[in-house]
Amino acid sequence: MIRLAVPSQATNSKPLAAPVQRDYLSYSAVRTFQSCPLKYKFRYVDQLPEAVVSASLVFGSALHAAVEHHLRFQLEGETAPGVPQLLQVYRDHVHAAQSQQPIKYPRGEDAAALEEQAARMLTTYLQSELATPVGRILGVEEQVRGGLSPRLPEIMGYADLIFETDEALTVRDFKTAKAKWSLEQANEQSDQLLLYGHLVRDLIPGKPIRLQFAILTKHKTPQTQVLDVQPSMQRLQRTRRIFESVWKAIQSHNYYPVPSPLNCSGCGYRKQCAAWKG
Ligand code: SF4
């Protein structure tokens, strides 16, 4: 785990109490609250299991687990595994998810079709620069934790890959996507990466931080892409203010549903939501 000090912006305000059984705040918890406060309550306060999980979510995390497995071998200086072993990691992850709750497949998709897609993507990954980052790998799925604001509990997350070259300390975030991203899209999606860049800033004092997205597309012939995101103090400050506002709302226990087709179609708490009386 990479643990860093609480930041310089000292004020007289004291950190507020943490939510039940959690002494930290994560980016995904904040995003969940922003999309639907009631979903946040079910997931993070009541800690209820979801009735179903979407196939796209399981696919993304299973592929992520396979990539992590591959990079971890390199971190430990061992010969990196090939497609069959990585595909087995993918399968094991899907089976483990299925044993917890049913997987909801969209029309026209099933487990076999997704596994074929995973095999194509892992083959492409292994042939690309994504599989062999240039430099010294310092962390894979590394826990990063530290302060963002004295008004917040510590922020905690997992950086997919941290590696060092002579020029910079790079934090890389892996994404599976339907198509390649534009630079504009990368900057729009960069809040979590900027946050992790902030949390690792003192790992090698004085070393410039580089933030990157590594994209693996779901095309029939998958493609890869590495996109650099420019560190932005203004954007980080905006994220800090968003976290403070969301944390204040969490502290007020003001939970309410935000129904919309986008929010609810993949939500595993629909039953609890329908029964909720406020
Ligand atoms: S079903 Fe929709 S409104 Fe209800 S908790 Fe889930 S996301 Fe929120």
Quote the ligand 1 centre to 154 CA distance (angstroms).
27
Q: What is the pLDDT of residue 259?
A: 97
- Per-position pLDDT tens, the chain of length 278: 444 333 333 333 333 344 445 789 999 999 999 999 999 999 999 999 999 999 999 999 999 999 999 999 999 999 999 999 999 999 999 999 999 999 999 888 899 999 999 999 999 999 999 999 999 999 999 999 999 999 999 999 999 999 999 999 999 999 999 999 999 999 999 999 999 999 999 889 999 999 999 999 999 999 999 999 988 899 999 999 999 999 999 999 999 999 999 999 889 999 999 999 98
Q: What is the pLDDT of residue 18?
A: 43
DSSP 213: E
CA of 222 to the centre of ligand 1 (A): 33
Residue 240, SS3 per DSSP: helix
**Is 0.85 topped by the overall pTM?**
yes
CA distance 150 to 146: 11
Task: Report the atom number in ligand 1 closest to the C-alpha of 270.
Answer: 1
The response to whether residue 83 sits with its C-beta less than 6 Å from ligand 1 reads no
pLDDT at 231: 85
Of the candidates 172, 166, 167, 165, which has an alpha carbon nearest to the alpha carbon of residue 144?
A: 172
Q: How remote is the CA of residue 254 from the centroid of ligand 1, in Å?
A: 15
Rounded CA gap, 145 and 149, in Å?
A: 13
Which residue's CA is the closest to the ligand 1 atom numbered 5? 39
- Non-local (6+) Cβ contacts of 164 within 8 A are 135, 136, 138, 170, 204, 207
Our answer on whether the CB atom of 39 is closer than 6 Å to any ligand 1 atom is yes
Could you tell me if 7 and 147 are in contact, meaning their C-beta atoms sit under 8 angstroms apart? yes
Is the shortest distance between the CB of 266 and ligand 1 below 6 Å?
no
Host H or E run for residue 194: helix 191-199
The ligand 1 atom nearest the CA atom of 258: 3
- Measured from the Cα of 38, ligand 1's closest atom is 5
pLDDT attached to residue 168? 96
CATH number of 23-250: 3.90.320.10
Structure tokens at 85: 């072993």
Alpha carbons 198 and 7: distance in angstroms, whole number: 10
263 Cα nearest atom in ligand 1: 7
CA 87 to chain CA mean position, Å: 21
Residue written as token pair 């070259």: 165
* Helix %, strand %, coil % of the chain (to 5): 45, 20, 35
Q: For residue 276, which atom of ligand 1 is closest to its CA? A: 4
Residues 6+ apart with CB under 8 A from 210: 167, 168, 169, 170, 171, 228
Which among 43, 46, 267 is the best mutation to test ligand 1's pocket, defined by most ligand atoms within 8 Å of the CB?
267
The answer, yes or no, to whether any atom of ligand 1 lies below 6 A from the CB of 264, is: yes
Instruction: Report CA(259)–ligand 1 centroid distance (Å).
Output: 5
Encoded tokens for 6: 């609480």
- CB 71, CB 161: distance < 8 Å: yes
